[in-house]
Amino acid sequence: MGLWSRPPLRGCGTGKRTPPFGLRVTADQTRDTRLGGVNLLSRAYYRQKAIKTQYPFQGYHIPMNSPPSRGPEPRSPKHLTVSDGQAGQRLDNWLFRELKSIPKSHIYRLIRTGQVRVGGGRCRPSYRVQRGDEIRIPPQTAPDLRTPRKSAHAPPDFLLQPLYEDADLLIVNKPAGLAVHGGSGISSGLIERLRDSHPEGEFLELAHRLDRGTSGCLILARSRTVLLELHRALRNREITKSYLGLLAGSPAWKTRSVDQAVARADPAPGTEAAKEARSHFRIVRLWPDCALAEIVIETGRTHQIRIHAASLGHPLAGDPRYGDHALNRRLKSVYGVNGLFLHARSVRLSHPRTHEALFIQAPLPAEHETVLARLDAQPDSQGTG
């Protein structure tokens, strides 16, 4: 059906090609339309229709010689070259790092539709990038992307405390409330801030992760070779991670081991519903309302300690997801427990290059020390060693 072959609108005349809304079109403009020039009738129709939508009771006339809005100028695609330290990574993982603010689903769509190209050709997400590969990244415009918001829980400025640093490793004391990486509406996390503070192009990658509310030891690799060696050591359980957590309630036991599979709340399609997980709890101090426990984990599943503590009937103090909400409110008002009380106290590992034995410890945050001091002020507190 042609543009003007619809039934005439009220007040627009009865002619088949009469422009709607009483548009004034000159003979020259009509002749330009017949000669295949810019369709002035169509342009005027839609511009006048927009005005009618905004002001339904008035018929404003828009001069047809006003230039149409063309929007932002198109951007050119980016061409990036894979460096030595990046060689061997999967294409999707490489893109996740380069395009930090873009959702993963959007990145996979760019790969699937061929908008991302390696050496001029299409590649699967599982392709391993090689040194010198030229990767084309399509231009992105603001409407196509989600603008992440700044996390309301992350401290705006923080003093990062390095616990160990050399040419291969960086172990830091992560503050509570700071996500380890951006995503899920968080504009930037610890890894993005560290990369911004280091020379451009320098390799820096997380060897493992900590929850946003957890503080303490976090290991980062400074080369891909070191990263792969750390991942191998984690899989073979050659790295020992110890935590301090405040358990709600007063346990009747002093030591307890939990061997219970842990499942993600939102498992990816095709992945296992639950994975094996083992945690070992030892009570260090005991109070009527809670207990301080040392927790050593053999595996590193998401929320593993929090789920295992809740399964024992003594969830972590301040845990908003698996905890006792009524007790959390009481601990906050009486002892100042403001947020999850879980601290990655120490990590024991062999240096990935020199094989030197390393034992790194992170001091408790000041707010956790304050909570423990208030609990110790009770006359019936017990130290179990």
324 is catalytic: no
Same domain, residue pair 327 and 189: yes
Model pLDDT, residue 267 = 53
Q: Given the residues 133, 211, 319, 324, select the one marked as catalytic.
A: 211
**98 plus 11 within the same structural domain:** no
- Residue 179's domain comprises 161-262+275-383
pLDDT in tens, 25-65: 555 554 444 444 445 445 555 555 554 444 444 443 434 44
Report the domain count for the chain.
3
Q: Of 8-17, 197-206, 327-336, which has the strongest mean pLDDT?
A: 327-336
Query: What is d(CA 266, CA 106) in angstroms, rounded to the nearest whole number?
Result: 18
Burial of residue 146, with CB atoms counted within 10 A of its CB: 0-12 exposed, 13-18 middle, 19 or more buried: exposed
Asked if residue 238 and residue 175 are part of one domain, the reply reads: yes
The pair of structure tokens assigned to 238 is 């050659």
Whether residue 84 is found in the same domain as residue 55: no
Which residue in this structure is represented by tokens 């842990």? 262
When mean pLDDT is compared across 182-191, 246-255, 280-289, the lowest value belongs to 182-191
Domain final residue, candidates 93, 121, 137? 137
Q: What is the mean pLDDT of residues 167-196?
A: 83
Residue 225: pLDDT over 80: yes
Is residue 82 located within the same domain as residue 42?
Answer: no
pLDDT at 196 exceeding the cut of 60: yes
Alpha-carbon separation of residue 180 from 92, 106, 136 (angstroms): 19, 22, 28
pTM of the model: 0.64
**What pLDDT does 62 receive?**
37
Q: Give me the pLDDT at residue 186, please.
A: 65
Label residue 246 left, alpha or beta by phi (over 0 means left) and psi (-120 to 50 means alpha): beta
98-120: pLDDT as tens digits: 887 788 888 888 888 888 999 88
* pLDDT higher than 90, residue 352: yes
Q: Is residue 300 pLDDT above 70, yes or no?
A: yes
Report whether 169 contacts 206 (CB < 8 A). Answer: no
- Looking at this protein, which amino acid is placed at residue 331? L
Q: Are 216 and 84 in a shared domain?
A: no
Residue 149 is assigned to a structural domain of this protein: no
Please report the pLDDT score of residue 327 as a whole number.
87
Query: Is the pLDDT score of 210 beyond 60?
Result: yes
Residue 316's contacts (CB-CB under 8 Å, 6 or more residues apart) are 245, 246, 247, 248, 305, 306, 309, 310, 322, 323, 340, 341, 342
